[in-house]
Structure 1
Amino acid sequence: MLFFFPENPFSKKGGNIIRAYSNLRIFKKLNIDVDLVGCEGFYKDSGEGFGLDYNYIKNFHLVGRKPTKNLLSLIYWKYKIIKLFSKENKSNFFLTANFKDCFNKILAENSYDYIVISYEFWTDLIRNVNLKGATKIVDTHDWITLNEYYKNPKLDIGKKFNEEIQNLNFYDKVVTISRDEFQVFSNFLGDKVVNIPQGFPSHYEGNPKTFSEKKFDLIFVGSNNPFNVQAVKWFFEMVYPLLPKNLNLCFIGKICEYFKEEPNVHLIPFAENLDDYYYDSKIAICPMLEGTGIKIKVVEALSYGLPVVGTVKAVDGFNSKIQNGCMISNDASEFAENIVKLLSTESLYQSIVQEGITFFDNHFTEKEVENDWKNILN
């Protein structure tokens, strides 16, 4: 398999990256040899070491949007000339002629049974290329048109969505992480669309701490993407003032760059392992207002047996919007009230916990997701 994911799937710094890493784990279990291809710009911009795990990949290729500057190189001058006479790809800044040339060279020198592309806006990487009979699969991750609309309400939605559907239609299989997006895409593309949600190992039986022993009342895990920034800003402006002042909050991830630590607000910019933090927390929060796809932070919290208090967006992509371990409201007062009720009412707390565990076991175990992938990799 050639597996293209622009960022480093071993960096564990965001939900989309956890998704890619989880897929690599599953391909390993299915005895598939994987060549990983990444985007040089993403790896360098992260400022992190590559930290590749060759237990899950056979070969690694890093592709750049432009060649190394060398005035004696024909490749360099070819890129410069093409750049003068071609328009920049407005949907994907990185998708230059050089990027495609380098990617095509990988395809030319190898033969693959499967080619998995992450995100439909990279489709031109394999369009009009000899794929030698490989099965083409796209892991959509998100509904890109809606994501772009959130960022730019003046977006020409019809034009963008038509582009997205045309790209998806190029593939043999279209994988969605969200049940909602499965419904949208399958209306246009039929049976080639398959829903494979995010899977996690179950951690809820290993919790060594009782409710009263836990240090944190609330936990939020998130990267610094704009949707997380908006969510945390709304939480601190609208919900936090309504909560009891003695609650202890834990925030983990690059989202910590956007606010200051206070006596009861603990910031953890990076955690190699989240077990101790989840086991030491009573409730996970997900105050997302925008964004698409499943909120992986919610599924992860459910895998630890935590109830989730969130907005309506917290249950995006779920098969059921009720009895799923989440208490949801877009109203700040009700959001705060849900937190207080869970922390103060043991019977309600245990009821929501059990709903979440049952929902997780029915939809999000690694075994379920492994079987889903097995069904399309045959």
Structure 2
Amino acid sequence: MLLSTILDSGPTFLDAAHPGQKPLYERLEHVERIDLILVGSAHPANIKSFRWFIEEVFIKHLAERRLNLFVAGSVGAQLQDFLQPNIFLLGRCARLTPLLQAARACPLPVVAGSGSPIKTIPALALNGAVTITPHIDEAFRLSDYGIPSFSDPAEFAADLCDMLENSEVRNARRQAATHYARDVLTETSYIEFWRIIMDELQMNKANQ
């Protein structure tokens, strides 16, 4: 079932021939689910953010719980030094929907850049079980919908664990994300949302 989901996403199997790993499809043979999914391009802000998540959150706090992490997108080419057996680099994927819908949670660990990566929108709309940083909250105002943000790696990890271990917490987060998507991610609301953000940025700049 999981391998079928992976194949449906149309991955490039970025780490399939890595000299430090078995081919990806062999490593997936005994994996039953996607615990966490990261999606991003090779933009420098994504690279910095994903490395922060892997080094400070996943390896230090989550890997010992036997959780796995899947990474989709060209950013994976910059993460191939992470050869942990429970990290899977899929490379570019033709379709993100199968992965996002299958994942138990979708961390959004943005610690650099504008905080408004385009992949945040499908993560909210298709998965909803998101853990976010203040960068994401500043851009999308998810705290207005009861979605907390965390800059401390241990707290970020703890929030993910709460969702993974407690279906009520996970469902509540997904309901909050659905509420946000319904209110903000329509075409008219989305344009108005960013108009307000830009007006506030211009006002703050003028007051500096």
Q: Distance in 2 between matches of 1:242 and 1:319?
A: 27
Aligned residue pairs, count: 159
**Residue 36 of structure 2 aligns to which amino acid in structure 1?**
L
Please give the TM-score of this superposition, normalised by the length of structure 2: 0.69
Is 1:243 matched with 2:62? Answer: yes
**Residue 335 of structure 1 aligns to which amino acid in structure 2?**
F
Is 1:232 matched with 2:50? Answer: yes
Q: Which runs of 5+ in 1 are unaligned?
A: 1-213, 373-378
Q: CA deviation at 1:315?
A: 2.0
Q: Distance in 2 between matches of 1:263 and 1:358?
A: 36
Higher relative contact order (CA 8 A, sep 6+): 2
**Residue 364 of structure 1 aligns to which amino acid in structure 2?**
L
Q: Distance in 2 between matches of 1:368 and 1:301?
A: 18
**Residue 76 of structure 2 aligns to which amino acid in structure 1?**
C
Q: Secondary structure at the match of 1:215?
A: coil
Q: 1:259 aligns with which of 42, 66, 79?
A: 79
Is 1:217 matched with 2:31? Answer: no
Q: Distance in 2 between matches of 1:278 and 1:292?
A: 23
Q: Does the Cα contact within 8 Å between 2:35 and 2:103 map onto a contact in 1?
A: yes
Q: Does the Cα contact within 8 Å between 2:115 and 2:135 map onto a contact in 1?
A: no
Q: 2:177 aligns with which of 344, 351, 356?
A: 356
Please give the TM-score of this superposition, normalised by the length of structure 1: 0.39
Structure number, greater radius of gyration: 1
Task: Please give the per-residue CA displacement for 1:110-148, whole angstroms capped at 9, x wherever unaligned.
Answer: xxxxxxxxxxxxxxxxxxxxxxxxxxxxxxxxxxxxxxx
Q: Secondary structure at the match of 2:145?
A: coil
Task: Please give the per-residue CA displacement for 1:24-66, whole angstroms capped at 9, x wherever unaligned.
Answer: xxxxxxxxxxxxxxxxxxxxxxxxxxxxxxxxxxxxxxxxxxx
| Superposed counterparts of 1:85-104, under 5 Å | none
Q: Secondary structure at the match of 1:220?
A: strand
Is 1:277 matched with 2:99? Answer: yes
Higher helix residue share: 2
Is 1:336 matched with 2:157? Answer: yes
**Residue 227 of structure 1 aligns to which amino acid in structure 2?**
A
Q: CA deviation at 1:291?
A: 1.1
Task: Please give the per-residue CA displacement for 1:191-238, whole angstroms capped at 9, x wherever unaligned.
Answer: xxxxxxxxxxxxxxxxxxxxxxx7211111111111111111211221
Q: Does the Cα contact within 8 Å between 1:309 and 1:338 map onto a contact in 2?
A: yes
Q: 1:347 aligns with which of 146, 156, 168?
A: 168
Q: Secondary structure at the match of 1:317?
A: helix
Show the counterpart of 1:128: none
Show the counterpart of 1:313: 135
**Residue 361 of structure 1 aligns to which amino acid in structure 2?**
R
Q: Which runs of 4+ in 1 moved over 3 A?
A: 366-372
| Superposed counterparts of 1:294-309, under 5 Å | 294-309=116-131
Q: 2:90 aligns with which of 268, 271, 277?
A: 268
Q: Secondary structure at the match of 1:291?
A: coil
Deviates more, 1:302-311 or 1:288-297: 288-297
Q: CA deviation at 1:300?
A: 1.4
**Residue 216 of structure 1 aligns to which amino acid in structure 2?**
I
Show the counterpart of 1:26: none
Q: Distance in 2 between matches of 1:248 and 1:320?
A: 26
Percent of matched pairs sharing the same residue: 25
**Residue 97 of structure 2 aligns to which amino acid in structure 1?**
D
